[in-house]
A = this chain, B = another copy of it.
Amino acid sequence: MLRYLTAGESHGKALLAILEGLPSGLKVAKEKIDAELARRQSGYGRGARMRIEKDRVEIISGLHKGFTIASPLGMLIENKDFSIDHMPEVVHPRPGHADLAGALKYGFDDCRSALERASARETAIRVAVGAVCKIFLNEFAISVKSKALAIGGKVTPEAVHKIIDEAREKKDTLGGVFDIAISGVPAGLGSYVQPDRRLNGRLAQAVMSIPGIKALEFGMGFISANKFGSEVHDAIYYSKVKGYYRKTNNAGGIEGGVSNGQDILICAYMKPIATLGKPLNSVGIKTKKAHPASIQRADICAVEAAGVVAEAMCAFVIADCLLEKFGADSLKDIKQAFRAYLKRISQ
């Protein structure tokens, strides 16, 4: 079983994660994690914070001479902008954020106590966790990739840049659409035997837990609800070379809650960033009087970044399922079990 916890506030000292359950013998290079962190920070439409922070991971624990020793990986990303106790109060909750719901839930009279943790800053450390999971998955030739498909409904680079510039000018924000493709997953991860073990449910939880995601679909997704079964399900074929195969992948790689050996395809829909430069109506949480929402430094659009976070979250889920199926403890042992399984199902 793979587990992790993250910690850290947007303007706290640092972000932290502990990732537990990795086998021994995996080479973990800090550079690979940093590369993922840099990917998360890129994309047109990002805010001033991205110019302040150049995220670099510090691996605190879990390695011996560069290799995992099965002990928990402790990781830390310093916040350059460490100032939490000196930041102004936030008393006009921003619609679309956890500001108000968080303040009510936890009894805050300063929404800062909510937004510091609710901020998407936290996803940086999730990317570090996911980067390690990707390194692990790479040993099994499994890859997880995302791509922004549309921003504010626009698809071509020019149109995307134009609408982001328009949003910036209007002090407005944008969301968009990205997809995730997980390749190399063998048939047999996840299960139908208990509701909480279905792979699509686990992946949906993971992707939906990313700030701003409001919808997602697997494979043909939404559209499949409008079709006949004969137009949707992926007929099964077999050849000596390929084994079982399909000519279509409408299922998005999962049937009955179990990976079927095809690419797992997820498409995620992100709402516009909730912090607007030209703020929406809100209410003072102390005065109860109408007042424009608080303005915080923010991105105009972060769809590409969300895609990188989604890769991380999916990589974690797949790594967890892999360990569940093929055992734990030693990378060599797991690889041996993996190969034996691939051989069995190819016969």
User: In the assembled complex, which residues on chain B have CB atoms less than 8 Å from the CB atom of A173?
Assistant: 228-230
Decide: B14 and A60 in contact? CB cutoff 8 A: yes
Decide: A214 and B209 in contact? CB cutoff 8 A: no
Are A97 and B255 CB-contacts (below 8 A) given A72-B6, A107-B332, A218-B214? yes
Task: Give the number of copies in the complex.
Answer: 4
User: In the assembled complex, which residues on chain B have CB atoms less than 8 Å from the CB atom of A333?
Assistant: 107, 337, 340-341, 344
Give chain B nearest CB distance to A206 CB in angstroms. Answer: 7
Q: Which of A192, A329, A336 has the most CB of B within 10 A?
A: A192
Interface string of A217-253 (1 = CB under 8 A from B): 1111110111111111111111000001010000110
Give chain B nearest CB distance to A78 CB in angstroms. Answer: 10
Are A214 and B208 CB-contacts (below 8 A) given A105-B258, A260-B100, A276-B230? no
Confirm or deny: A95 has a beta carbon within 8 angstroms of a beta carbon on chain B: yes
Decide: B153 and A102 in contact? CB cutoff 8 A: no
Tally of contact residues, A, Cβ under 8 A: 155
Decide: A233 and B274 in contact? CB cutoff 8 A: yes
A126-148, CB < 8 A from B: 126
Give chain B nearest CB distance to A86 CB in angstroms. Answer: 10
